[in-house]
Structure 1
């Protein structure tokens, strides 16, 4: 079996099992056993077969060849080493080539700002951050849920994130009542599946205002102090749609691709323009999430074969990333990581993927 096919099949496994299979700490010792003690391995396999009822009749003969097993283990060991090296390089690159976590964080004294924090992913993120001891400012145009009202660590500021004036007023209130935030999570997002020819100008301006332009407005308010003290964390919630555009989703995909470009430029500016490498940046790419954002469309997606994520499955990795005191890129679920490289694929392969996903997304 070619190594590329083996890798593809193994990648379909769940993350815990896949990590175990690809672990060089498992494949390495097994490879040594197979290549340096083949007789002992055969003896072990046969003994195990004898102990399992009904298995002996399917067990290999005493002189069975271990060369195929050794080849598979060599491939797994090599892939395991490459994956670990790749992760280490990704982690270092995202953190200004720093191998350790940034210092100076004290959660009870940190202040976080979360846009769109009154529902969905944002609401759970707010609650988890508050549970860590942070004070959290929610910037949202809709009122917070009842569950937040009695939490002294959560503060609500009514804000239209598409308006620079509204964001500036909310930012002034946050600084006046809480202090300077060290964490900014640009989470607010909207969508409404619609063909390009049916999209109104007013809605187009609204979706880009919420999904993209709001990032400029919030960062312009809260980043200067982070740069001044060379400490902070800006989290940009983008989407898998940043990489793949589908029918009736040009607005959403384009606005989320803009969010990704914003994150990349911000990361570069912090290092080279502002000389503030300890201000961390993280971009998050979740697949479809069952939230109020896509209510009424979720059932259609599931009928098309899409596995919907829960808000919990997205909020938890975001909070864990903040707790790690490291920057990075989160693709959720991890099994969708392969799709992030689609822009580098041959055009014919890109089109095959878009055709397949496009037809599926339009099925009723």
Structure 2
């Protein structure tokens, strides 16, 4: 009864060490979109406006009343259509009870994966992290996470670790494929060994983990969830990132094939799939890369991406997560005339961003 609560050390991100940015730095198109989504673009708010006009005894035939009603109907139809579309595409949500789930996260020692693992660890969930980096037992106990040293690009290592996870925690039901490395090198500078390692870690690891853990989800009465973390660069490509973008682009096709195969499996409806295609995240993997426009293409905080993933996983839903806003619409670039695409790429600076960084992260 007199035991003192455990005190955990807190380390703030390095960005807190620097001076505060001016107020307009935090004004982004994503913030504007979010505000609009909770106000005039929300069907309930649109109908409240109609009620307010009616409360003022505004006649039904007045132009402002007709416009308000038409807008409310439009917002309602869009909301209903979106809900029906998601229901057709991803089915009904599955019930998620963290006490009964076993969560496997690849590449969870640093970056986004570490943040997700630590959040679930603090909530006493069953979390297993697969990473080549070693974590000492004291740190693992403090975070409430089990760490397994494993190269997820090696099928035999994944299968061996899977047996340990099943023995320690039980059959995995949530798989978050997050592991990834990047080399900032041109095609001519990239060695065959580096290209092979990129694909082993970023792409082949997904095959290994799916082949190993998916059968347990399909046989589980509660189903499971598979999270595939790709990148917005999978749609775009970029100078000095040929191996990285190609390995992430392969995940888009893999995810589509996974969904197609699950739709043909008798128990496939119980396994939810989530595709994550974020823009630049504030992790050390792309530290030093300057965004061309903080308003249109802001750097996304890891916590924001983690919150989206955790929310969808715990809601038992399938779907796609694309943040910031431009990453939801970036595929439209591919249908524009090639001249327009060239102008947009030059304006965005996407093919110049990596030249001045001198980056190599694993």
Length-normalised TM-score, structure 1:
0.78
**CA spacing shift, 1:10–1:362, aligned 2, 3 Å:** closer
State the match for 1:283 in structure 2: 275
State the match for 2:25 in structure 1: none
Is 1:250 equivalent to 2:242 in the alignment?
yes
- Secondary structure at 1:247 match in 2: coil
Q: For residues 326 and 168 of structure 1, what CA distance do their matches in structure 2 show?
A: 27
Q: For residues 131 and 87 of structure 1, what CA distance do their matches in structure 2 show?
A: 34
Is 1:13 equivalent to 2:32 in the alignment?
yes
Q: For residues 221 and 146 of structure 1, what CA distance do their matches in structure 2 show?
A: 26
Question: Greater shift after overlay, 141-150 or 129-138?
Answer: 141-150
Q: For residues 333 and 225 of structure 2, what CA distance do their matches in structure 1 show?
A: 28
Unaligned runs of 5+ in 2: 1-27, 357-362
Length-normalised TM-score, structure 2:
0.78
Instruction: Determine which of 138, 159, 163 is the counterpart of 2:154.
Output: 163
Q: For residues 52 and 70 of structure 2, what CA distance do their matches in structure 1 show?
A: 15
Instruction: Determine which of 203, 211, 226 is the counterpart of 1:220.
Output: 211
Q: For residues 112 and 205 of structure 2, what CA distance do their matches in structure 1 show?
A: 17
Unaligned runs of 5+ in 1: 1-8, 42-65
Give deviations 1:51-105, integer Å, cap 9, x for gaps: xxxxxxxxxxxxxxx96x6797578546523541343134213423x3xx213x3
State the match for 2:83 in structure 1: 88
Instruction: Determine which of 109, 123, 141 is the counterpart of 2:100.
Output: 109
Q: How big is the alpha-carbon RMSD for the aligned residues of Structure 1 and Structure 2?
A: 3.1
- Tell me the CA shift for residue 302 of structure 1: 4.0
- Secondary structure at 1:277 match in 2: helix
Higher helix share: 1
- Tell me the CA shift for residue 147 of structure 1: 7.7
State the match for 2:135 in structure 1: 144
Q: For residues 127 and 30 of structure 2, what CA distance do their matches in structure 1 show?
A: 37
- Tell me the CA shift for residue 341 of structure 1: 3.8
Give aligned pairs, total: 323
**CA spacing shift, 1:11–1:130, aligned 2, 3 Å:** closer
Give deviations 1:211-265, integer Å, cap 9, x for gaps: 1110000111111111122511111111111222222222222111111211111
State the match for 1:270 in structure 2: 262
- Secondary structure at 2:38 match in 1: helix
- Tell me the CA shift for residue 325 of structure 1: 0.8
State the match for 2:178 in structure 1: 187
